[in-house]
Amino acid sequence: MPARKPVNVDESVNLRYVVFLACTAAMGGLLFGFDIAIITGAGPFITRAFNLGDIGLGWAFSSLLFGCVIGSAFAGKLADRYGRKRLLIFVALLFASTSVAAASAASFNGFVAARFIGGLAVGGVSLISPMYVAEVAPPSIRGRLGTLYQMSIVTGIIVSYGINYLLRDAGASNWRWMFLTGVAPSVVFLLFVALAPETPRFLAMAGKSQQALEVLQRITDRDTAESELSDITANLRKEPQSWRGLQRPGVRRALVAGAGLAILVQVSGINTIIDYAPAIFQSAGWKINAALTSTFVVGVTEFLFTLVSLWTIDRYGRKPLYITGSCGMALSLLGLFVAVMEGRFQGPIVLALILGYLAFFSACIGPVFWTLVPEIFPNDVRGIAMTVPVLIQWVANALVVLLFPYAFHVLGKGFTFTFLMLMSLAQGVFTLRFMPETKNKRLEEIEAYWTAFKQHR
């Protein structure tokens, strides 16, 4: 019996196969979320084990993110040279090996080195997984399939929070066991990627048109597959893959817009909330066990509201969601600022406001960002072009996470939450003025928006 399709999915689409491909690539997000968040619960124990101050703690958290900068800088070019699938296999192997290295580190420097190298894998998968999903997804459900990547990130976060809580009383080396558990999802990801094909757009780019057609015919019917392959081939003829291709007017404008979103998605504070949730809850009066329990509630909230985006992203579009989410995040941060100013920065109030912030991010911002970034670039330069916003968001992420403990404890909670609130508002305004709506558009169609950008303005 054929898979039941949502009402707006073309009947020619092989939904089961497309979902399998999207879920396989999106599973890279699970490793992304796991590696980013596993240190959340391990942080208090690492602090004691290595006797860390604010900057040392910030470096322990951000070392992975600085590795992400390097990984994302090279992943696009490597993906264009060797293929999306090969890079995902390499990433899975790197995840597993660095989980073991971090768990067995004999010194703080060794731990930081392992996390930095692990960041190469996280940075790589943050570019390649969304790219893979975008390149196999039919336009009518590309938004929902792109959301699977964010759901996978959130799932990785929840899993890591659960592991943190279960191992909290496992002795002085509990944090080592926390990191070691990362081997299991890495192996599962490796097995699934091995079963998936290369994307049709990379196969066409590599001159393997027949193989590209075969993959497309597994996704949709023959006529649609041939038409899409024709569009892909015509698009790829524009200019050889190189950095020079980024100088086309339409691509330059897309790069600037993507870079702006990449900075704002981080400086509005999402990873400081995820990474430092136990520290924030402890500062609001919670004990360590209660703080770790609260982080699990945080993870569940992220997951549930990411599910909301599956229903909304292709129904209402990317742009309205992004603006709504930015405003909601800003209101939640304003509430945290007021709580600090009125001396009511206490457990239940803080938890409620943080959950509100995360609900807006998870339903609106996170899924849309990772769906929109690969959508806005043309086929012939997508791998190289995606390097720019993905690298920039990792730089912004690393700096924000590095400096958050200092800002929170020295500059003060009020200053910190005010800054994040203003950045959330800026994110909404930027999206309103500069971003296109990509809902239901083929990837080959979207470049025209940037080419005609001046007329739009």
pLDDT, tens digit only, all 457 positions of the chain: 344 444 455 566 778 898 899 999 989 989 988 988 888 878 888 888 888 887 788 888 888 888 988 988 888 888 888 999 999 999 999 999 999 999 999 899 999 999 999 999 988 998 899 889 888 888 778 777 877 887 888 889 888 888 988 888 887 789 999 999 999 999 999 999 999 999 998 999 888 989 999 998 998 888 888 888 888 887 776 555 556 667 776 777 888 888 999 999 989 988 787 777 777 777 777 776 766 677 778 788 888 888 888 788 878 888 999 999 999 999 999 999 999 898 888 878 888 899 999 999 989 998 888 788 877 877 667 777 888 888 888 888 888 888 888 888 888 888 989 999 999 999 999 999 888 787 777 666 666 666 665 544 4
DSSP conformation class of 208: -
Q: Report domain 18-196+238-456's class.
A: mainly alpha
- In whole angstroms, how far apart are CA 9 and each of 13, 137, 244, 315? 7, 11, 37, 12
Q: What is the pLDDT of residue 6?
A: 46
Domain boundaries, the chain: 18-196+238-456
Q: Report residue 38 CA to chain centroid gap.
A: 16
The set of residues, in sequence order, having a beta carbon less than 8 Å from that of 272 and lying 6+ positions away, is: 400, 401, 404, 420
Backbone angles phi, psi at 9, to 5 degrees: -95, 130
Do the beta carbons of residue 382 and residue 132 sit within 8 Å? no
Q: What is the pLDDT of residue 277?
A: 74
The model's pTM: 0.73
Render 265-295 in DSSP notation, one character per residue. HHHTTHHHHHHTHHHHHHHTT--HHHHHHHH
- Do 346 and 255 contact (CB within 8 A), yes or no? no
CB-CB contact of 398 with 68 (8 Å): yes
User: Of 143, 38, 131, nearest to 76 (Cα)?
Assistant: 131
Q: How many CB atoms lie within 10 A of CB 240?
A: 10
Distance of CA 296 to the CA centre of its chain: 19
Q: What is the spatial distance between Cα 134 and Cα 375, in angstroms, rounded to a whole number? A: 7
The answer to whether 264 and 430 have CB atoms below 8 angstroms apart is yes
